Amino acid sequence: MGSHAAPDIDAILGQLTLEEKISLLAGKNFWETVDIPEKGVPSVKVSDGPNGARGATFKNGPTAACFPASCLLASTWDLDAAREIGNALAEETQSKGARALLAPTVCPHRHPLGGRNFESFSEDPLLAGKMAAQYINGLQEKGVAATIKHFAANEQETCRFTVNAHIAERALREIYLKPFEIAIKEANPMAVMTSYNILNGDHADSSTYLLKDVLRGQWGWNGLVMSDWGGTNSTAGSLEAGLDLEMPGPTKWRTAEAVTEAIKTGKVSEETINARARNVLEFMAKLRCFEDPSIPEERSINKPEHQKLIRSVGSQGLVLLKNEGAILPLRKEKLAKKKVALLGFAKQGLVHGGGSASVNAHYRVTAEEGLRAALGDDIEFEYAQGAHTFRQLPLMDKMVIDRDGQPGWTLDLFLNEDASGEPASSQHSDVPTYMPLFVKEAWGSLRATTQFTPTQSGHHYLGMSGLGRSQILINGEIVYEQKGNCPDSMAFLLGGVKEPEITWEFEAGKTYTVEVTTLKPSKSGGVALLDGYIGFRAGFMTEEEHNRDLLSEAVEVAKRSDLAIVFTGHTPDWETEGQDQISFNLPSNGSQDRLVAAVSSVNNDTIVVNCTGVAIDMPWLDSVKAVVQAWFPGQEAGNAIADVLTGAVNPSGRLPVSFPRRLEDAPAHGNFPGEYIDGQLNVTYEEGIFVGYRHYDRSEEHRSQVLFPFGYGLSYTTFAHADPKVSLSEDGQGIKATINVTNTGSCAGADVVQVYAGAKLASSENPIKELVGFSKVWLEPNESKPVSVNFSTRQLAHFSEKTEKWELEEGVYEVSLGRSVQDIIGKLAVSVGAQSYKL
């Protein structure tokens, strides 16, 4: 970041009154901190999120570059790629007037149904921590603060504001805190964001164990701790535990009155207030806010170098899972004059997941566009959708007239909470939604009305959801009532709420009065982020459209084609922050599985390209020729996919998670998302340290439960491995593993050497082996290179809850070099001495 004159934080603190110091400890608004211009204190702006800098607007704001999701980035096993993505994200963050990015997300993938897994890297803490460290380095070397999140144990979205996660300390240390520890010690992020959940009885934002003992104590980290948005749960508790900044603003918990009262009663000390304010000011100083306090206007800068990087990393992270008969790559000369069926999501770019990872992408290249550009005009493409996959009905914005005779709806807003009497305000809306994120007036209720005249008769479908209790009425008759709050405000905001579908018999040409009433949410649970606001949406679909037989159309297209490519996956409303997946099967209601099965039954050359951030069930796997796991590749999705399918890029992605055969085979099955005790969701991490491959590796029976193992991925070339060696450093603190890798195939490609280690005499208390290092090597045909991986003997230690130290037992350890956790190409033994490591 270069040299600059550091502001005198002591002098600034000395000028501030107690009330001014308190004001710094919560946001000014949704994205900015409080400034005190008369005392020379600037504001700093932050921005979401992990795969793009969105800026201040959740929907339809200035466009931004959409980068590959972190699950794809982890699939590259390429630390340089993570750093380059960090560099580019820093430039994007600055283009949105922000100096801190709310990323990366590093919580391990505990269960395949985790709604936010795609935002994070891996089931393995080492892979997640190493990738996150380089991502952070990339951001911060360009002058933008990283905000590592969510600290800690945010492995599910169900009841995320209130769930109590019960985790033994060994599992915490070895799995759930480890990626944070690696990234914090190797990259020193400027900020840490606390999670919403409760951990072992304490909200994360008020956890002395997490913030004081571990983060600032044992790890020696010194930076800014901020809450997740709406994730502060106390005044005195959070201040004393070490939460510097409550977000967003204006404050809910840290008013001058509340904090001064806490000081008077001895619950908070003035020293604590000074320490919290100092951290906020030092954060601003690191970001040079004192030198240049301006917050520039948001801009959309579509950089060619970012486009190129997104395409390159996107294609690198695709994982080839199956390639029977070498059906891939698709060569232009072989396909000339042939017909190719493009089915499913071919025309819809699945570029990102839902929630704070959503961005208004500069553009999105669909798979159809990518393949047409790659294969040219000599090939005849035919498209069919093939499956209904909507989660919410389209907005009811056609054939509707508001109170003034204009197309749309009339929204009446009331101060009271029963939508009675004269409205305090009325407004027109083209669509039946009210998304109140930035509205300052806290209305009590809302009534939306329209006159609807259908053009078709039939039992048409209606859908409706609200932040608080809501009703939908037709001609004054209640046809559906939502009796409680929406379970999650972010899910509501970003379209991830599954709305019940109601049918009503309409007659063409007849006019109906449609009315929605919605109330301010009650205080009980679910809507922390939008507490006090109202919001709703209403959807509609004709009977003909809803019940259209898309599958038969796709089968007919597949029948008359030489090759069928089915694009499956999760749209952002199916895989999103705010809620966990509802099924291990692709949505909706098995429609995509039926599509693949039906197409493969009439076309022997069927390829599946799947865009999800998680493992899915593949009941059709044996009946298709090839499968590519494409994750969420960002705005260049179609080009990245086409690059791999056509062989312009040799796939080199390796799975950062295990794909179980059945959901029941997942190690957390039965303990996810938990059980309700006295009205509160509690989840116990019964599997302990045996997460992902650590569980499956325990026995041959467990290994057989894996469809595709951790670290697995195919290539269009072949690799040979020879001369594995392992050596212990002179001081006994380091181990070096080496192996020679040769590209024995006919095209250039990359191999990932994975190094695992564990005690030769395995104990049932410990994993058989764990990832200790990895290296990606690029090779031309017939080229050979030696690959070395260095790791510390401390990585062989396990956390002891008895001694509260990391304990390395003396003995012989087996170092395994592999192509995946199950495909081991060399085993070597090394003897190490016993050692204890302080925290």
Q: Is the domain of 570 the same as that of 610?
A: yes
Domain co-membership, 28 together with 177: yes
367 found inside a domain: yes
Q: Is the predicted pLDDT of residue 588 greater than 90, yes or no? A: yes
In degrees and rounded to multiples of 5, residue 213 shows phi and psi of -70, -55
Angle (deg, nearest 10), helices 304-317 and 637-646: 50
Q: Which of 353, 321, 358 has its CA nearest to residue 118? A: 353
- DSSP 3-state assignment of 776? strand
- 375/49: higher pLDDT: 375
What's 780's domain CATH number?
2.60.40.10
The runs of H, that is alpha helices, within 54-102 are: 70-76, 79-95
**183 plus 40 within the same structural domain:** yes
Q: Cis peptide before 660, with omega less than 30 degrees from 0?
A: no
- β-bridge partners, 383: 342
Q: Are residues 732 and 664 in the same domain?
A: no
pLDDT digits (tens, 9 = 90+) for 298-333: 999 999 999 999 999 999 999 999 999 999 999 999
CA 655, chain centre distance (Å): 16
Among 668, 685, 708, which residue terminates a domain? 668
pLDDT of residue 442: 74
Question: Mean pLDDT lowest for which of 195-199, 432-436, 797-801?
Answer: 432-436
Whether residues 417 and 369 fall in one domain: no
467 occurs within a structural domain: yes
How far is Cα of residue 206 from the mean position of the Cα atoms in its chain? Answer: 24
Is the bond preceding 248 in cis, omega lying within 30 degrees of 0? yes
Vertex 157: Cα angle to 708 and 350 (nearest 5): 60
As a whole number, mean pLDDT of residues 137-147 equals 98
Average pLDDT over residues 158-176: 96
CATH code (residue 174): 3.20.20.300
Confidence of residue 486 (pLDDT cuts 50, 70, 90): confident
**Residue 255 belongs to some domain of the structure:** yes
Q: What is the pLDDT of residues 782-810, one digit of tens each?
A: 999 999 999 999 999 999 999 999 999 99
Confirm if 602 and 559 have CB atoms less than 8 A apart: yes
Place of tokens 């929907």: 59
CATH number of domain containing 448:
2.60.120.260
Q: Please indicate, yes or no, if residue 721 is contained in any of the structural domains.
A: yes
Contact between 482 and 465 under an 8 Å Cβ cutoff? The reply is yes
Residues 217 and 182 in one domain: yes
pLDDT grade for 2, boundaries at 50, 70 and 90 = very low
Q: What is the CATH number of the domain that holds 629?
A: 3.40.50.1700
Query: In this structure, how many other beta carbons lie within 10 angstroms of the beta carbon of residue 762?
Result: 14
807 part of a folded domain: yes
Q: Which of 264, 286, 308 is the last residue of a domain?
A: 286
Is residue 394 very low, low, confident or very high in pLDDT (cuts 50, 70, 90)? very high
Judge if 172 and 23 occupy the same domain.
Answer: yes
pTM: 0.95
Mean pLDDT value across the chain: 95
The model's confidence at residue 4, banded by pLDDT at 50, 70 and 90, is low
Assess whether pLDDT exceeds 50 at residue 1.
no
Check whether residue 195 and residue 226 sit in a common domain: yes
Mind listing the pLDDT tens digit for each residue in 750-787?
999 999 999 999 899 999 999 999 999 999 999 999 99
Provide the domain count of the chain: 4
Question: DSSP letter string over 177-204?
Answer: SHHHHHHHHHH--SEEEE-SSEETTEEG
| 65 domain residue, yes or no | yes
Query: Final residue of a domain: which of 286, 305, 338?
Result: 286
697 in a structural domain? no
The range of the structural domain enclosing residue 818 comes to: 717-837
Tokens of 209: 């164990």
Same domain, 635 and 660: yes
Per-residue pLDDT at 441 = 65
Judge whether residue 524 has pLDDT over 70: no
Asked if residue 527 has pLDDT above 60, the reply is: no
**Separation of alpha carbons 166 and 683, rounded Å:** 6
* Residues contacting 445, CB < 8 A, separation 6+: 413, 414, 416, 417, 418, 419, 517, 518, 519, 520, 534
Residue 682 belongs to some domain of the structure: no
Whether the CA torsion 784, 788, 789, 793 is positive or negative: it is: positive
**718: nearest Cα among 751, 760, 677:** 751
Q: Helix, strand or coil for residue 1?
A: coil
- Asked whether residue 155 falls in the same domain as residue 229, the answer is yes
- In this prediction, residue 813 carries a pLDDT of 98
Task: Give yes or no: residues 100 and 240 share one domain.
Answer: yes
**Residue positions annotated with a catalytic role:** 228
Q: Which two tokens stand for residue 448?
A: 């939306």
Same domain, 256 and 113: yes
Does the pLDDT value for residue 57 go beyond 90? no
